Amino acid sequence: MAYVLDGDNVRHGLSRDLGFSPEHRAENIRRIAEVARLFNEAGIVLITAFISPYREDRDMARAIIGAERFVETHLATDIAVCESRDPKGLYKKARAGNLPGFTGISAPYEAPLAPEVRLDTGALSIEESIERLVGTVLPRLRNFRVPV
């Protein structure tokens, strides 16, 4: 069994009290990591889709979840491609100064130094991206064990 958490479903509930300051971003990632650990302990694979701009926060998440269960996936897509795909118009708002602290525009992004998976979705098709991701994750799933 698997479940997906993303920024929208978490920010409307579990982290609705948080903003986008570095401290709030760290707390958001900590909460997500704790939820992921609980899901894993229940035998459920949790896929998390979040912008996590700071290496320190991702390292914290890996420590909480467990290195053997944490697969850092870096979507290393050029910002121009991200802007062209932006259905909510957030990049346009950020460039106009209406979204302060927007990752990649007015706030930093620290790329992972050694992610398990790196996908440039501007260069790879959806099928190629999925193939690379599954090729990394599937062997780990075969060894997935629920702690006793």
pLDDT tens for 60-84 read 999 999 998 999 999 999 999 999 9
CA distance 116 to 140: 11
Question: Are the beta carbons of 44 and 1 closer than 8 angstroms?
Answer: yes
> What percent of the chain has pLDDT above 70?
97
CATH 3.40.50.300 for the 2-76+111-142 domain, yes or no: yes
| Residue 148 confidence (pLDDT) | 59
pLDDT in tens, 16-51: 999 889 999 999 999 999 999 999 899 888 999 999
Active-site position among 15, 21, 52, 129: 52
Domain boundaries along the sequence of the chain: 2-76+111-142
Determine whether 15 is an active site residue: no
Beta strands at 73-75 and 45-49: parallel, antiparallel or unpaired: unpaired
CA distance 76 to 45: 23
Question: pTM for this structure?
Answer: 0.88
